[in-house]
A and B are shown apart, each in its own frame.
Chain A
Amino acid sequence: MADKGISYCVDGPVSIISINKAKTLNSMSGDDYIKLAELVDKADNEPKTFFTLLQSCGSFFSSGADFVSITEPSKSNSGESELKKWLDNFLSRNSYVTSVFIRHRKILICCLNGPAVGLSAALCALCDIVYAMNDKVYLRFPFVELGLVMEGGTSVTLPLKLGNNKTMETILFNKNLTYDELKGTIVTRNYDMTDTQEFNQRVINDLKNRANNVYLPSILGIKKLISINYKDNVQRANSVETSDAITSWVNGEPQRRFKILKTKLRKHKV
């Protein structure tokens, strides 16, 4: 099946945003992240939507940033300063995408069919509810290996949802957050399934069933009352995170390290 990119549809009270790039383990280019944010905003403005579902395909939720695309601007020789280049190609995008997730007014649900990495994992941590397809899922934040710092509001969302010490060890020592560590904090339900399409459909069905019993406007009230307690702090963090990282990009550190990682992975495949 051809990769369809990122698509959007509405099914009753649910807006469904689907990542369909199985060939690259659902890695995301800069444009993909922007498209994702646009669709999340579209769901925010959809009057009949009360739940926004993020779904993926295949064995990974998202392997994170597509190395080639993210480091692409390095090659340009337009004469503009490195600072301006990376403000345009990193800071503005990361800041905007994160901000869209933070201010979303519907219930954001992530159908975690498999691992999520980097900014994709951060966006998962920004979701209100995360369902795991099975216990093989994990979140990975390789910031320290890539010369980056916290992204996607994780400097607030991870301590908030996991606790301080767990966050410190996970990020500083570049560890995966396994299902056991996500259970009860970020992941509230394990569907214990193996087929991603079936898992995705099951979550949609469960939500539609639930919608029959619930007064849907109450759902928006729940989101409004709970999110007001932390979203300002996440917005603040978003601003600090992106401006702290810019120096690294200007100095070329993440670009160098993405390249090394890409070579490592190529060798691994061989």
Chain B
Amino acid sequence: MYVEMKSRITSRSEDNGRIFVITINDPKKLNSLSFQDFKSIGQLLQVADNDPQVQVTVLQSTGKFFSAGVRFEDIGYMRDDVSSHPERLFGHIAMPNIQLVAQFTQQRKPLVCCLNGPAVGMTAALVMLCDIIYAKNDSAYLLFPFANLGFVPEGGTSVTLPWKLGINSAYEHLVMGSPITVQELIDARAVSKVYYLVDTNTFNDKIVSEIAKTISNVFPESLLGVKGQLNANLENNLLARAQSLETNTTMPFWTSGEPFKRFQQLQEGTRRHKL
């Protein structure tokens, strides 16, 4: 039987090649992602970054959720892989925390996130790494259940959450596992605008056409120059350091097996995220 593997992550060009759109496309599974999907996102970011035509990169999703996080099956594959090859654990942890975070932070093009709905875990961490966030409506939230799941902040969140939300808010949400609402994101000026739309495609298309209009008379090199200067700040240095710190701090937690146990409970329904 021939089974076609459709990639959950697709890309396309808009505005005569000036806008590169990366889309998460599995709304039936709430856009939950495999580790390969995370890799694909990183690879596509690099494609955008290397393409001289591209001026702005946009990250979008589909349906009701931005992403429910990593797929349970993938945590299962990881657990099985690590139980027979313990030395592979580090690579599994390093891929999102070092490689993918670096691909986000090294993006020279402005990176826009179209937050159509909730984002959980590593996918929420990627939202926090974007330069500009627009929300479809106030149904969206960001959830970081690291402490519920038996490990520690990953994906740069030990820097991005205090930086973009405030230190005390970061502690509150990470310690209590509470969702970060669109209103909090607006108050913290992390989300620039809420569009109060219902349909995700409409929202996504609107953002792309607004960006196209905005960049129609900007000097492309200025976009790169400005982002480069704005990024030459303390927080990006801390983010570079956090890649190593988070990876090394989280490793013993994963080695202990506690996160695998708790993911399994989540999958079986014996553990729930309290929203």
Contacts and interface: CB of A to CB of B under 8 A. Distances in A.
Nearest to B147: A218
A14 to B, nearest CB: 12
Q: Which of B146, B150, B162, B168 has the most CB of A within 10 A?
A: B168
A187 B152 CA distance: 23
Most central of B146, B162, B171, B174 by chain A CB within 10 Å? B171
B175 interface: yes
A214 interface: yes
Interface in A156-204: 160-161, 184-189
Interface string A229-240: 110000000000
A214 B151 CA distance: 10
Chain B interface mostly helix, strand, loop or mixed? helix
Contacts of A189: 172
B253 A217 contact: yes
A interface, by DSSP: helix, strand, loop or mixed? mixed
Nearest to A157: B167
B167 A214 contact: no
The interface size bin for chain A is 20 to 34
B73 to A, nearest CB: 22
Interface in B221-264: 238, 242, 245-246, 249-250, 253, 258, 262
B23 interface: no
A215 B175 contact: no
Nearest to B261: A215
A109 B187 CA distance: 23
A188 to B, nearest CB: 4
A218 B147 CA distance: 5
B68 to A, nearest CB: 19
A107 B148 contact: no
B147 A226 contact: no
Contacts of B159: 229
Nearest to B237: A229
Nearest to B258: A215
A210 interface: yes
Given A213-B148, A218-B253, A229-B159, A185 B175 contact: no
A221 B172 contact: no
Given A185-B166, A219-B147, 4 more contacts: A128-B167, A161-B166, A225-B246, A226-B171
Interface of A: 107, 127-130, 160-161, 184-189, 210, 213-215, 217-219, 221-226, 228-230
